[in-house]
Amino acid sequence: MKIFIPTPLRQFADGKDAVEVAAVTVASALAELTSTHADLRKHLFTPEGKVRAFVNLYLNDEDVRYLPEKEATAVKESDTLSIIPSIAGGRG
């Protein structure tokens, strides 16, 4: 499956905007990604190994945090995983 890398993380993925991985679940896809590109790990996960709160993961068009199996959700070769850091702010 393909994992799409957002602009701020491409410098940690050899400049790539997408990486192909062989995986059976969302979690194993991320594990393979960070195994190949170790610098990505600290940007995606807390020291305790949880996905950082500001990192949104979309399996195709579904937010992974709202899927019943979350990161344990099974994936197909044709699936895509998008990594989307959150964007917010304001004057207050």
Partner 1 sequence: MSVVRFTREVYEAIRAHGERTYPHECCGALLGTRSDQGWRITAAIEAGNARTDSAHNRYQISPLELMKIERSAREQGLAITGFYHSHPDHPAQWSETDFNEAHWLGCSYVITAVEKGSAALTNAFALTGTSEETKQFEVEHIEIAE
User: Which parts of this chain interact with partner 1 (CB under 8 A)?
Assistant: 4, 6-9, 11, 17, 42-43, 54, 56, 58, 61, 63, 82, 84-92
Q: Which is nearer to partner 1, 31 or 85 (CB)?
A: 85
Nearer to partner 1, 22 or 88 (CB): 88
DSSP state of 51: B
Minimum Å gap between C-beta 25 and partner 1 is: 20
CA distance 73 to 28: 10
Sheet of 62-63: strands edge to edge?
18-20, 2-4, 80-85, 55-59, 62-63
